[in-house]
Structure 1
Amino acid sequence: MKIDIPGHPDNKANLAAGIIAKHEKDGEASPIKLLVTPDVKVNVDKITSKTKQAVELRRQSEVLIEERNNLVKDVDQFIRGCRDILMALYPDEPKKLTEYGFDVVTNPSKSKGSEDK
């Protein structure tokens, strides 16, 4: 026979909360009364609280990343427009674009992060 103990912290906290609830229902007759300490109860509550905080922060993070990605679309158009204008102004001097912060690749093979457009 095998008794599974969950691996995920949230599942452990849920199991511990159930054990504590059963202990409290049993009262003085509880066979685990020496194990159920105030520290254990506090830690189970902290795990639950930290999980709720983490879920909320993850949600906020996803919203912020989406907002950032929407802003990047406008910035990307700006960068491409600047590149195109500068390339039109300096068709024989592509290295001139380095003065504006562009990474000018002299080898025509695609490098990581470069685009031909």
Structure 2
Amino acid sequence: MSSNRVRVDLPNGAEDRINLAKMIAAKHTELGTASPLAQLKWDKVTPAIAAAETAHRESKRLQAQAEAATQTRDAALETIVTFLRASRDVLSGVHADEMRRLGDYGFTVSASGGRAAKETPEEAAKPAS
């Protein structure tokens, strides 16, 4: 005799789990009192299935909104990045001898060693003690 092991896997995804729970509940309802699942706590499971399904639909709706908002943001950021580069370039020309002055506008100005300058332009103008 061969001893074949049978494995019954549970789905991993939320939607697949909800759908399987709905199918099991439907089969249980169809079988009525003859259902072998009658001893399970359907008073807890049935509302949980409904709540999960509602929350999953809402999650998908919000995810779609988030994706749309991200696309809108990214499109606007293209304009902003172009503006930032142009601002940096213009200010670099205006303050070519005092590049730290770009910090007055909010830019992070790096020293030639590659480290970001931690001091404000006012601090940089003070003589070393």
Same fold (TM over 0.5): yes
Deviation at 1:7, TM superposition (A): 2.6
Aligned residue pairs: how many? 111
Higher relative contact order (CA 8 A, sep 6+): 1
Asked if the contact 1:98–1:104 (Cα under 8 Å) also holds between the matched residues in 2, the reply is yes
1:93 aligns with 98
5+ residue gaps, structure 2, are 1-5, 117-129
5+ residue gaps, structure 1, are 112-117
1:60 aligns with 65
In the superposition, the TM-score normalised over structure 2's length comes to 0.78
Equivalent residues in 2 for 1:15-94 (5 A)? 15-94=20-99
| Larger gyration radius, structure 1 or structure 2 | 2
1-10 or 69-78: which moved more?
1-10
Identity fraction in percent? 28
In the superposition, the TM-score normalised over structure 1's length comes to 0.85
Over aligned residues, Cα RMSD in angstroms?
Answer: 1.9
Residue deviations 1:46-79, cap 9 Å, x none?
1111111111111100100111111111211221
